[in-house]
Amino acid sequence: MADRGRRGDALRPARSRCNGRETRQPTAAVVAALLAASTLSATAQEVSDDIVKIGILNDQSGVYADFGGRWSVEAAKMAVEDAGGKVLGKEVQVVSADHQNKPDIASNIARQWYDTEQVDAIMELTTSSVALAVQGLSREKQKINIVTGAATTDLTGKQCSPYGFHWAYDTHALAVGTGGALVKAGGDTWFFLTADYAFGYSLEEQTSNFVKASGGQVLGSVRHPLSNTDYSSFLLQAQSSGAKVIGMANAGLDTANAVKQAAEFGIVQGGQRLAALLFTLAEVHGLGLEAAQGLSLTEGFYWDRDDASRAFAQRFFERTQRMPNMIQVGTYSAVAQYLKAIEKAGTDATEPVAAALHEMPVNDVLTQNGRVGQNGRMIYDMYLLEVKKPSESTKPWDYFKVLATVPGDQAYLDPAQSGCSLVSQ
């Protein structure tokens, strides 16, 4: 077991040994001295290295750079600042790095952070393959990781970890929110344009299941490479399928480029509907309402939803010149909750902090009364959104209509059905 996992042992009182002889009770002065010594010892053990260090590891230069990117780093810093910059009286630092969407690079950075730079927890982790790799390493090192940027349900399913947590969204929530709603609205035939890696496969599979369960049909699919630029052949296949809905099981610039080229082909004007299965405010802003109008999507946060979201978004805008999406607000929430868990546990040791994260409700700008399941999945309400027409937008960043709220218990898998071996049946 790693040193972090053993720290709690140093706090346990040594067992007394009875020699069969009667002993006198210690004086009040002795008791006071022992208590003082115990308090000093406990204080020295509360925070390792006298600092709490949080690593934000994500894509800062590639296809998902706007999706989370350096804006997630800013959100993490906001959470630390809102906590006063300290926890248990010790400084909190945020470090960050670009994993370039490559699991080997991400794993090397994470290993260096854990082994030589005393990073206590790693968060964000855009890209499912990266998140799975780092979660595996974190489990080995007995360190906490909180994923906000990746989508695969395997993180809290067959590859769950006692120290791994999944915030913000996953493929199941996206499939329920967008797939299920569109079938009910008449979009009962689908064709998928899918990113050729774990995230895309999972999103296509789960959305297909909801389409079929709702009485719809899947007419086909085509896969494209990550960071593709020319979607013409893929879109022509989708168009010729005659499907009412073209489901884009991709994200970031991949989705944005596909939507832009679909507009050039007149696909929406021809009567087919585009469903962006993972699309956020950041990508809509980059694409513009003219091209994105009418898109259906699911997010866990919209900046103009209520007074609290607007107040947070304004603070975020003042330092970034953009409004936040669910990944960035999810990162704020994850960092804030981690610091609250350290306060609750009275230490930054992994085991008690993980226990506190499981026990504590999540109440912040992302959600009220969120809860963490036994598998590490944070369960909270999601929102089905539609991108406004340019004529419907009345102010900057006024991009979405909230069509429906998807209750958390519907959006996310029941932990008992997740396939996670940690869940008691």
Give the Cα-Cα-Cα angle 148, 354, 349 (nearest 5 degrees).
Answer: 115
Which residue in this structure is represented by tokens 């040594």?
14
Structure tokens, 335: 């960092």
Structure tokens, 343: 């306060």
| Residue 228 contacts residue 254 (beta carbons within 8 Å) | yes
Q: For a pLDDT cut of 90, what percent of the chain falls above it?
A: 77
Q: Is the pLDDT of residue 32 over 50?
A: no
Residue 262 gets the label, from left (phi > 0), alpha (psi -120 to 50) or beta, of alpha
Mean pLDDT of the region 121-144: 97
Q: Is the pLDDT of residue 10 over 70?
A: no
Q: Is the pLDDT of residue 14 over 90?
A: no
Mean pLDDT of the region 295-323: 96
What confidence score (pLDDT) does residue 398 get?
A: 97
The CA distance from 164 to 145, in Å, is 5
Residues 295-306 pLDDT 10s: 989 999 999 999
What confidence score (pLDDT) does residue 44 get?
A: 39
What confidence score (pLDDT) does residue 185 get?
A: 82
Q: Is the pLDDT of residue 33 over 50?
A: no
| Residue 158 contacts residue 420 (beta carbons within 8 Å) | yes
The DSSP bridge pattern shows strands 121-124 and 90-98 to be unpaired
The CA distance from 38 to 44, in Å, is 10
Give the lowest-confidence range in 113-122, 156-165, 293-302, 359-368.
293-302
Mean pLDDT of the region 108-135: 97
What confidence score (pLDDT) does residue 220 get?
A: 97
Q: Is the pLDDT of residue 34 over 80?
A: no
Rounded to an integer, what is the distance from CA 42 to the centroid of its chain? Answer: 33
Superfamily for domain range 49-169+306-381: Response regulator (3.40.50.2300)
The CA distance from 279 to 292, in Å, is 10
Answer with the residue of higher pLDDT: 352 or 31: 352
Mean pLDDT of the region 374-391: 96
What confidence score (pLDDT) does residue 345 get?
A: 97
Rounded to an integer, what is the distance from CA 307 to the centroid of its chain? Answer: 23
CATH architecture entry for 175-302+382-406: 3-Layer(aba) Sandwich (3.40)
Q: What element of type H or E holds 253? A: helix 252-265
Q: Is the pLDDT of residue 15 over 70?
A: no
The CA-atom distances, in angstroms, between 92 and each of 50, 53, 82, 144 are 9, 6, 11, 16
What confidence score (pLDDT) does residue 138 get?
A: 98
Rg of the chain (C-alpha set) = 24
DSSP H helical ranges for 48-180: 69-82, 103-116, 128-141, 171-174
Contacts 24+ apart (CB under 8 A), 268-274: 268/294, 270/239, 271/244, 272/238, 272/239, 272/243, 272/244, 272/245, 272/246, 273/182, 273/187, 273/244, 273/245, 273/246, 274/245, 274/246, 274/248
Of 179, 167, 244, 173, which Cα lies nearest the Cα of 209? 179
The CA distance from 372 to 237, in Å, is 41
Cβ neighbour number for residue 265 with a 10 Å cutoff: 16
Output DSSP code: residue 61.
S
What confidence score (pLDDT) does residue 46 get?
A: 87
Residues 201-230 pLDDT 10s: 989 999 999 999 989 999 999 999 988 999
The CA distance from 29 to 27, in Å, is 5
Q: Is the pLDDT of residue 9 over 80?
A: no
Split at pLDDT 50, 70, 90, the class of 252 is confident
The CA distance from 341 to 87, in Å, is 10
Mean pLDDT of the region 136-154: 97
Helix (H, G, I), strand (E, B) or coil at 24: coil
| Every domain range in the chain assigned CATH 3.40.50.2300 | 49-169+306-381, 175-302+382-406
Split at pLDDT 50, 70, 90, the class of 198 is confident
What confidence score (pLDDT) does residue 136 get?
A: 98
Split at pLDDT 50, 70, 90, the class of 404 is confident
What confidence score (pLDDT) does residue 5 get?
A: 42
Residues 6+ apart with CB under 8 A from 132: 103, 150, 152, 154, 155, 159, 198
What confidence score (pLDDT) does residue 348 get?
A: 97
What confidence score (pLDDT) does residue 425 get?
A: 63
